Structure 1
Amino acid sequence: MKKISLLFSLFLMISCNSQGKRPLIGKTEYQQKLNAEYKDASKSPLKRKDLKNFKGLDFFPVDSSFIVTAKLIKTENAPTFEMATTTSRKPLYKEYGILNFTLKGQKFQLTIYQSQDDLTDEKYKNYLFLPFTDDTSGEESYGGGRYMDVMTTDISTENTIVLNFNNTYNPYCAYNDKYSCPLTPRKNHLDIEIKAGVKIFKKH
């Protein structure tokens, strides 16, 4: 009898815990964090009707072959320029450097940027901006391209850095046209399908 009572108590505890705290949606910690942010009405870029029906972002399957080590060649004395956006806003950026890497047996190059506005923000001063398009853009992924956050603190003493295309995200404009988003420069197109990271968002 005591054994039955104990089992029943355990069942109640498990039931209460599972009801009180739902598991985070996502296959990786990155996906879970992103989904949690998009589900939070105070942080989410989603429109109200999309937020109401939100059950999690759609991702490509996690693929370790889309994690590469890139060699960074820093751009010396880069001029400040106004980056084009989806609106009339012109944020100031500098070219930080060129990333050279091999993916799926092919050699590629991407230009990485540094926001001049973020340099004065303690929270974002170490962030670098890596926008890109690829052969899935406009089909399986957002046509305007995707972004990857890279930290200056992650650059090794040999000027190498790990790029994880599984941890890429859409600009807020993919969800809500009220936002102003930097446009991916044409030179940052990858002539390959990057089937990793977040997919195109299907609006309701």
Structure 2
Amino acid sequence: MDSLELVLQQSYYHDKKRLTLLIILQLCIANAQSYNQSVLDFQQHLNEEYKNPDESPLDKKDLKRFKGHDFFPINEKYRVVAKFTKIMNPTPFLMKTTTSRLSMYEVYGVANFELDGKEYQLNVYQNHKLRETEEYKNYLFLPFTDLTNGDQTYGGGRFIDLEIPEEETIVIDFNKAYNPYCAYNSNYSCPIPPKENDLDIHITAGIKK
């Protein structure tokens, strides 16, 4: 192989490597844009629900003033893939609410994940009444509290909707955390997140106060 052929070959491999890196970068950007859009779609849907007088928990006075929720900036680090362990033969219990009403739940599974270098654990619940309906038979409920409560977010904690996973992992997206109806109207009865789901970290994602 002469020197010219060697130079051409090296140039070819260099360009090929650069092209591969460019394609990977473009895919990463596309994936990030797609993810951001999914969160924006969630936020838009939530705002439209609250603007709809037939669905909104807001009273008439607040409904007229409502322009939209305030959200933390979208941060994909708060979309975590957790190890999910299903609880076999769970014991049903009555979850406390903001009123005297009690709702029957069970711990369907436990989610373990890492965030900012630390390990965390959250219980994921299933409502006995909802699972009897076709629409919500796969619905799981994740109420949680964190160090932002009472300051940047609602003092009573926030909720995340999940579905029964097919694998041994479950995606928990804190960017899609929302407030219970009680944050807007005291006439509602809302579940109180159990102490087991108190996170010793600031979750600066999802809906604000």
By percentage of residues, which structure has more helix? 2
Q: Which residue of 2 aligns with 1:61?
A: 73
SS at structure 2 position matched to 1:72: strand
The answer to whether 1:195 aligns with 2:207 is: no
SS at structure 2 position matched to 1:166: helix
Q: Which residue of 1 aligns with 2:124?
A: 112
- Percentage of identical aligned residues: 52
Q: Distance in 2 between matches of 1:148 and 1:50?
A: 24
Runs (5+) with no aligned partner, structure 1 = 1-25
TM-fit CA distance, 1:75: 1.0
Could you say if the C-alpha distance between residues 75 and 27 of structure 1 is closer, same or farther in structure 2, counting changes exceeding 3 Å? closer
Within a 5 Å distance, the mapping from 1:17-166 to structure 2 comes to 28-152=40-164, 155-157=165-167, 159-166=168-175
TM-fit CA distance, 1:156: 3.6
Q: Distance in 2 between matches of 1:129 and 1:41?
A: 25
- The letter for the 2-side match of 1:199 is K
Which of 167, 171, 175 is residue 180 of structure 2 equivalent to? 171
TM-score, normalising length from structure 2? 0.80
Runs of 4 or more, structure 1, over 6 Å off, are: none
SS at structure 1 position matched to 2:145: strand
TM-fit CA distance, 1:117: 0.4
TM-score, normalising length from structure 1? 0.82
- Backbone CA RMSD of aligned residues: 1.2
TM-fit CA distance, 1:99: 0.5
SS at structure 1 position matched to 2:110: strand
Q: Distance in 2 between matches of 1:100 and 1:119?
A: 24
SS at structure 1 position matched to 2:162: strand
- The letter for the 2-side match of 1:113 is Y
- The letter for the 1-side match of 2:142 is L
TM-fit CA distance, 1:123: 1.3
